[in-house]
Amino acid sequence: MAAPGGSGRFACSPLPRRLPGAKSWRGPVLGLVTHHHSHTGPDKAEFLLLSKQLLTSILPASPPRSSVRSGEMAKLTQLIDNEVFWAYATYTTIVLLKMMLMSPVTAYFRITRKAFANPEDTASLGKGESAKKFLRTDPDVERVRRGHLNDLENIVPFLGIGLLYTLCGPELSSALLHFRIFAGSRILHTFAYLIPLPQPSRGLSWAVGYVVTISMAYQVLKTALYL
């Protein structure tokens, strides 16, 4: 504040040496006051420099961007080095490849059974009315398609829930048990659908894989919500 009498000088009270979480800022403040006392017309550039030093001293320093990136990279490296994550990646790859194989199997049955869904697929078999008889459904083709659809309904939830389960830090032995049972149940389910095997083989293989996914989901909720 300006002192009484309009002298243009500052009245300065004692300043604390340090704020919590901040560097010492008494020096820049006293520099501003001394500068004003010693010059009737202070240089603007020098005044702005002292003001910048004051703000830098008071405001807590933000962490460097490089250190933030290093922390993120450390977390990513920790995840990659996790054995449970690699177990998840292994069995996820297995079930995804199995699901992808259902597409060529479907194509095989369509060609061998001459049962197509699109008119252009019958171009090599004839024209006009002679080709329309191949636009039909076939029980074997539909069976493969139902197996493929069942894969989608069960493997996709496993991908998401399995990853969350991996991030919860389970024991490697427990995680391997979940992953192996699920992968085995899905492979057995496919054979039971395509051969076909007598019931309840297909129903049991589906139920086992479904229970594994529910078990992992429960572990995730237990860890996150303390159930």
Q: 213 and 165 in contact (C-beta within 8 Å)?
A: no
Residue among 92, 100, 120, 123 at smallest CA distance from 216: 92
CB neighbour list of residue 153: distance below 8 Å, 6 or more residues apart: none
Q: What local confidence, expressed as pLDDT, does residue 134 receive?
A: 85
- What is the value of pTM for the model shown? 0.65
Q: How far apart are CA 217 and CA 158, in angstroms?
A: 9
Phi/psi-derived region of residue 126, left when phi > 0, alpha when psi is between -120 and 50, beta in every other case:
left
Which phi and psi angles does 10 have, rounded to 5°?
A: -95, 140
Q: 154 and 197 in contact (C-beta within 8 Å)?
A: no
Q: How far apart are CA 58 and CA 64, in angstroms?
A: 17
Residue among 167, 102, 113, 176 at smallest CA distance from 139: 113
Residue among 99, 75, 77, 79 at smallest CA distance from 88: 79
Q: In angstroms, how far is CA 207 from the centroid of its own chain? A: 28
Give the pair of three-digit tokens for residue 144. 């493969």
Neighbours of 6 (CB within 10 A): 7
Beta bridge partners of 10: 2
Q: How far apart are CA 163 and CA 84, in angstroms?
A: 10
Q: What local confidence, expressed as pLDDT, does residue 122 receive?
A: 82
Question: What letters, b where the CB count within 10 A reaches 16 and e where it falls short, cover 96-121?
Answer: eebbeebeebbeebbeeeebbeeeeb
Q: What local confidence, expressed as pLDDT, does residue 212 receive?
A: 97
Report mean pLDDT in 10-residue bins for the chain, 227 residues.
45 46 47 48 61 60 55 58 91 97 94 88 76 87 95 96 93 96 97 93 96 96 81
Q: What local confidence, expressed as pLDDT, does residue 125 receive?
A: 78
Amino acid at 12: C
Q: What local confidence, expressed as pLDDT, does residue 187 receive?
A: 97
